Structures are given as C-alpha cells and as structure tokens.
C-alpha cells in the first residue's frame, strides 16, 4: 500500500513537469545553419568545399524593434544553433564578414528552421609546386614533385594571425582556402635536395630572389594562382681582383684600392660572402653593396643577390701598416641555403706585394733585367788548313812555338860542341 502511494505521488509530480517541458517546447523555436567556403560561388555547399570552423557566427535581433537576442558562434563543424522564444520574427545576420564576404547577408525566421546557411568568399589559393625540368613554366605529367608543404602567413583584415600550410598532391597541385587580409606565400627551402626556385616565367610564379609572393587577387576575382617552380640547382661564384696603384714596393702608410668582381656562373641567384685572408692592414672603407661581419675587418657579405650571368663589383680601401702583409688574398664563399659551390677553383685570388718602412720604397716600374756577357776578342795565329801545302793538319794550334824552342836547343848544343873542341886542342 505504501509502495503504491509512493508511485502515485511520483507520477503526480512528473505529469506537471512533462507538461511544462512540452509547453516550453511550444514556446521556443530553433534556428541553425552552416558557414562554409563557397569556392565556385553557387551558394550551395558542394563536395570538396570546406566549412568555416569556430567563426564569429551570427547575431540575432528581433525584427522591428532591433532588440539584440544574442551572438551565436560557429563550432568546429562550422554550424551555429540558437533556441529562441517563439513569437517575434527574427533577423539572423552574418557576424563574420570582416575576413570574408558573402552573398547571403542574413535570414529571417519566425519558426524553427535549419539550412539557414551562409556561403563565404575569402581567397582561394591554388597552383602547382614541381621541378620544371624542361623550363617551359608549365607542369608536365612526367615532371616530378617534391612533397614539401606550401606555407601562407600574414594577418587577416580583422588583425588575426594567419599561419597555415598544405601539402601538394601527387600531381603537384595544391589548394588553400584563406581569409581576406595581407597574406604571403613562402616557398619551401629545398636546397638540401639540390633544388632552387626557377626564374619566373609569368606573374603567377614565386619571386626567385625572395622566395615569396603576396596573395593578391586581381580585381574582384578571389581565385589566386601561384606556382612554385624549381630547377636542379647549380651554384657557382667566381672571383677576380685588381689593386691600384701598382708598385714594386709599398711603404707603411700607403693606401691601396682593392676591386673585387664577384660573378654568378651558376643558374640560381646567390648572395656570396668573401673574406680577406691573412689580413694585416687597416680597413678604411668599403662600398655600400656589402656588409661587414660585426667584430671583423675582413669578412663581408654581398647585400643583394646576384642573378645568373651577372656580376657585382666591390670596392675596398686599405692602409698598409704591417711589414708582414705580403699577400692581398681574397676568397669567395658561396652562401645559398645548403647548396654547394660546384667549382672551388675560381673563387680564390691572390696578389703578392712587398711592404717596407717609409723612405725605403721604390716606385720604379717592375723591369726584367737581362744580363749579357761582354764579347771576348781572341787573337789567334794563322794556322794551315788541312790539305794545304804545308802538309799540317788544321787543328787550330800554331807549330811556331815548338820550332823556336828546337832552334834554341840546337844552338845550345852546337855551342857546347865547339867549346869542347877548343879545350881538347
């Protein structure tokens, strides 16, 4: 009996609650819809189009009085949902129009309704990223891709930071839905794979000097095309030098002007560095197209990249202040990501110099002395030639000396003979 009474009381209490809930449902309406990025502009959410997740959503007001009912943001699925008192007619407005535009600015509702969607238009970035083997500027079916991700950074119109990236498909194509704002594409650094950006062929290519390009729509077109084309990179910087004035000998305190010419012999833009080796002099100045490594007098970097086939000249003035400085030596060092220099033989130059104390120098031009021995005049006696009437061979030696000696000996012998006969007699 007690159990029955308890059940009856519970049922009696529950009935008003159920009735109240049903009445509450009769007194409210539910409105909901989707925010999505309408790529083709047909005001329909199509396969392949993305939702606008976690956006500002909608603001709802009472029509006629403009009374604010509330703000209802979108969730991760791009949907908003609002439960409203039944009775008034409501105006449901897009509250997400700073960073996007839309063809649907609002909806009206007085009854529960779904499908109150808002198609958005931002920037639709697409293109190809690939290795342009034939250099024609277009992606061919047999040209390889690299798998690196395309990155976009910047700020939206509302000031929100943008940092998104996407990978290209197997065909090298990529696509990004972006908000309106100041945005930039940055090409991935592929120098580790010996790839570098190719020379631009059209306005849709990334700048090969900066590796970037602004995501800027043309006119009212929100579809932006940017291609990231790469080439098999060959990096080669060559160095040449000249010194003025040219002397055999320089004195302490003399000033030299050194002109270095850096040439790009490769196929990618380069910003080389160079160093003055074994530098024992005073640096007076350098041209403004290079920067000096802080804390050094000999380590320089070219400010602007040198295009393939081009060169830049650097002027450096130094003062000699050390007798041990015997060689003006410079070496260029290639600096472009992780690309190696393909030819190290052409990036070192050296000029020998001689530095002496002031007053001991000579400014005479360098000459090559040739020492020639003075001619020797030899007087020789005439000799008979072979086959002459004397019957002597033509040896070049004179027999007269030997004949004279024989005559003296003969005379001495005869003198001794006559003296001996006188004594005997």
> What CATH number does the domain containing 57 carry?
2.60.40.1120
Burial class (CB in 10 A: 0-12, 13-18, 19+), 194: middle
Please tell me whether residues 128 and 80 are part of one structural domain: no
Kindly report the CATH number assigned to the domain that includes residue 345.
2.60.40.1530
Whether residue 106 sits in one domain with residue 81: yes
Indicate which CATH number applies to the domain containing 134. Answer: 2.60.40.10
46 and 15 co-located in one domain: yes
Q: Is the pLDDT of residue 396 over 60?
A: no
Give 251's strand partners: 356
Which of 85-89, 172-176, 396-400 shows the lowest mean pLDDT across its residues?
396-400
Considering the domain architecture, whether residues 100 and 141 belong to the same structural domain is answered as no
Is position 413 within any domain?
no
pLDDT band at 162 (very low <50, low <70, confident <90, very high): very high
- Domain shared by 132 and 146, yes or no: yes
Q: Are residues 132 and 214 in the same domain?
A: yes
Q: Is pLDDT larger for residue 394 or for residue 127?
A: 127
Distance spanning both ends of the chain, measured CA to CA: 210
More confident of the two residues 216 and 80: 80
**Exposed e or buried b for every residue in 11-22, given b needs 16+ CB within 10 A?**
eeeeeeeeeeee
Return the pLDDT at 402: 34
- Token code pair at residue 80: 């908003």
Contacts of 89 (CB under 8 A, 6+ apart): 62, 63, 64, 108, 109, 110
Q: Which residues of 110-123 are buried (b: 16+ CB within 10 A; e: fewer)?
A: eeeeeebbbbbbbb
Q: What is the mean pLDDT of residues 44-57?
A: 93
Percent of the chain with pLDDT strictly greater than 70: 77
The answer on 37 and 101 residing in a single domain is: yes
Q: Are residues 205 and 282 in the same domain?
A: no
Pairing assessment for the beta strands 212-214 and 106-109 based on DSSP bridges: unpaired
Per-residue pLDDT band for 221 (boundaries 50, 70, 90) equals: confident
Task: Establish if 381 belongs to a structural domain.
Answer: no
- Say if 416 falls within a structural domain: no
- Asked if residue 341 and residue 290 are part of one domain, the reply reads yes
Band the pLDDT of 414: cuts 50, 70, 90: very low
* Residue 379 is assigned to a structural domain of this protein: no
- Looking at per-residue confidence, does 364 or 221 come out higher? 221
User: Which has more pLDDT, 374 or 350?
Assistant: 350
Same domain, 225 and 144: yes
Domain total in the chain:
3
Tell me the mean pLDDT in the region 293-305.
94
Is 195 part of any domain?
A: yes
pTM of the full predicted structure? 0.69
User: Residue 362 falls within a domain, yes or no?
Assistant: no
Tell me: pLDDT of 208 over 60: yes
Last residue of a domain, one of 302, 329, 356: 356
Reported as a pLDDT band with limits 50, 70 and 90, residue 219 is: low
Q: Are residues 69 and 7 in the same domain?
A: yes
The residue from 356, 374, 393 where one domain ends is 356
CA 352 from centroid of its chain's CA atoms: 34
Which structure tokens are listed for 23? 């009445």
Whether 424 is covered by a domain: the verdict is no
Per-residue pLDDT band for 336 (boundaries 50, 70, 90) equals low
> Does residue 17 belong to any structural domain of this protein?
yes
- Mean pLDDT, range 102-110, rounded to an integer: 91
Boundary (domain end) residue, out of 93, 121, 149: 121
Mean pLDDT for 388-392 is 32
Residue of 166, 170, 171, 202 lying closest to 185 (CA atoms): 166
- Tell me which residue range forms the domain holding 193: 123-232
């Amino acid at each position: 009996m007690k159990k029955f009474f308890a059940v009856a009381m519970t049922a009696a209490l529950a009935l008003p609650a159920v009735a109240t809930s049903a009445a509450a449902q009769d007194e409210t309406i539910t409105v909901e819809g989707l925010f999505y990025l309408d790529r083709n502009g047909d005001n329909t959410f199509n396969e392949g189009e993305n939702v606008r997740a976690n956006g500002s959503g909608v603001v709802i007001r009472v029509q006629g009085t403009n009374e604010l009912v509330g703000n209802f943001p979108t969730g991760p699925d791009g949907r908003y949902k609002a439960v409203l008192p039944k009775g008034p007619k409501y105006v449901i407005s897009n509250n997400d129009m700073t960073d996007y535009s839309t063809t649907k600015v609002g909806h009206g509702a007085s009854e529960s309704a779904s499908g109150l969607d808002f198609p958005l238009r931002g920037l639709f970035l697409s293109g190809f990223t690939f290795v342009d083997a034939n250099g024609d500027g277009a992606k061919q079916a047999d040209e390889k891709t690299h798998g690196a991700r395309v990155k976009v950074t910047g700020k939206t119109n509302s000031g929100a930071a943008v940092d998104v990236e996407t990978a290209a498909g197997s065909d090298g194509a990529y696509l990004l839905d972006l908000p309106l704002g100041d945005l930039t594409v940055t090409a991935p650094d592929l120098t580790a794979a010996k790839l570098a950006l190719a020379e631009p062929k059209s306005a849709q290519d990334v700048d090969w000097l900066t590796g970037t390009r602004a995501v800027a729509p043309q006119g009212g077109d929100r579809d932006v095309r940017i291609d990231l084309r790469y080439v098999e990179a060959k990096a080669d910087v060559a160095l040449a030098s000249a010194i003025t004035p040219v002397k055999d000998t320089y004195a302490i305190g003399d000033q030299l002007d050194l002109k270095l010419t850096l040439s790009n012999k490769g196929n990618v833009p380069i910003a080389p560095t160079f160093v003055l080796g074994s530098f024992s002099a005073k640096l007076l100045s350098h041209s403004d197209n290079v920067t000096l490594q802080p804390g050094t007098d000999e380590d320089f970097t070219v400010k602007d990249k040198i295009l393939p086939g081009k060169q830049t000249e650097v002027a450096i003035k130094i003062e000699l202040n050390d007798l041990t400085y015997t060689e003006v030596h410079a070496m260029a060092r290639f600096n472009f990501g992780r690309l190696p220099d393909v030819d190290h033989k052409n990036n070192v130059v050296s000029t020998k110099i001689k530095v002496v104390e002031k007053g001991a120098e000579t400014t005479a031009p360098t000459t090559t002395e040739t020492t020639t021995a003075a001619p020797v005049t030899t007087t020789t006696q005439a000799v008979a030639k072979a086959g002459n009437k004397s019957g002597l061979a033509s040896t070049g030696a004179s027999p007269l000396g030997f004949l004279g000696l024989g005559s003296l000996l003969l005379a001495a012998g005869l003198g001794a003979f006559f003296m001996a006969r006188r004594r005997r007699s």
